[in-house]
Amino acid sequence: MSLKPGLELREHPLFKNRQRLLAVPGKLTQSRQRNSGLRPALLNLTLAILILGTFLVGLWQGNLTVKMTLFTLPGQNWQNWLVNLLGPQAGTGLAEKSPWIIARVGGIVSYLLLSVSVILGLCTSLRLTDPFLHRGSLVYLHRIVALSTLIFTALHVSGLLLDKYVKISFLNSLIPFSTDYRPFWTGLGTLTLYGLGAVIISFYLASTFGYKLWRITHYLSFGLFFSSLLHGVLAGSDSHSPWMQVLYGSTGFGVVFLTGLRFTSSFNSKHLNKEITN
């Protein structure tokens, strides 16, 4: 197509680098290109493991006060700090209510955001929103929602650490199935947090991982959603509330429906390609 002199096609800057925006690595055709991106990543990962190991050894061999911070319950320290700041009456009342509110709000919001993130990802792969929303914008929103999920999950864990009734130490929050309060379902929530971190990291290391490994890692999102759902239903304080049951049921149905639609469309497309090839 010829253009008038002085006119040229320009791409909107938001979609200038579609590959990076969509966080989907291209299939590299040369093995040398794959190795050049993989070797620095492995080197950085090795250095990070060595630094983390050195830090943990130093922490373990440190003085007793530092070591005991892993095992102490922050809830009592939280109450003492509020009592000294606000006085016995106000400080004690706030210390009893605030951790539960923080944990409750953080847990519910993080579950909602995780549900929205999974649904956005499914809508992107199914191209349901293509007629009225650019796919690049949708995937960008998908990434931001996933990051927000991690932030509110950290808020949820912080509230549990400050709650002196649940009695969760910092070490309990890191090691799955180590709490006294519903250990299996609480540990399932810890594993969900680790899995969520892995999926978010895959957003930014997609070109390094390669397409296949990135796709396998991204499929963790389905398992993370259902483990989060089980964690909320069987370990949450609001699981018996009617409004929370409606929330769990609607989000669970939506994800299951879209997931089934996604795999059905994928199966049909593969079957159609085989028939065309034959």
pLDDT of residue 274: 56
- Give the mean model confidence (pLDDT) for residues 7-33: 45
CA distances to 127, 166, 267 from 272, rounded to whole Å, are: 18, 55, 9
pLDDT of residue 30: 43
pLDDT of residue 271: 54
- Give the mean model confidence (pLDDT) for residues 87-109: 87
Amino acid present at 124: T
pLDDT of residue 192: 92
pLDDT of residue 247: 94
pLDDT of residue 112: 95
pLDDT of residue 31: 44
Q: For residue 136, give both structure tokens.
A: 């690049």
pLDDT of residue 71: 61
Span 262-273, pLDDT tens digits: 878 765 665 555
Please give the Cα distance from 148 to 197 (Å, whole number). 12
Q: Where are the domains of the chain?
A: 99-265
Span 217-227, pLDDT tens digits: 888 888 899 99
pLDDT of residue 26: 47
- Give the mean model confidence (pLDDT) for residues 167-180: 84
Helix (H) or strand (E) holding 57: helix 31-60
- pLDDT higher than 70, residue 214: yes
Span 188-199, pLDDT tens digits: 999 999 999 888
pLDDT of residue 15: 44
Span 39-83, pLDDT tens digits: 666 666 776 777 777 666 665 555 444 455 556 677 777 878 888
Single pTM value for the model? 0.71
Contacts of 34 (CB under 8 A, 6+ apart): 28, 210
Beta strand extents in 144-270 (DSSP E only): none
- pLDDT higher than 80, residue 231: yes
pLDDT of residue 225: 93
pLDDT of residue 80: 81
Rounded to the nearest integer, the mean pLDDT of the chain is 76
CA distances to 46, 95, 162, 191 from 166, rounded to whole Å, are: 37, 13, 9, 19
Please give the Cα distance from 65 to 68 (Å, whole number). 5
Span 253-264, pLDDT tens digits: 999 998 888 878
The band of 86, judged by pLDDT with boundaries at 50, 70 and 90, is confident
Q: Mean pLDDT lowest for which of 31-35, 120-124, 139-143, 158-162?
A: 31-35
- Give the mean model confidence (pLDDT) for residues 133-153: 86
Question: How many CB atoms neighbour CB 51 within 10 A?
Answer: 10
pLDDT of residue 256: 92
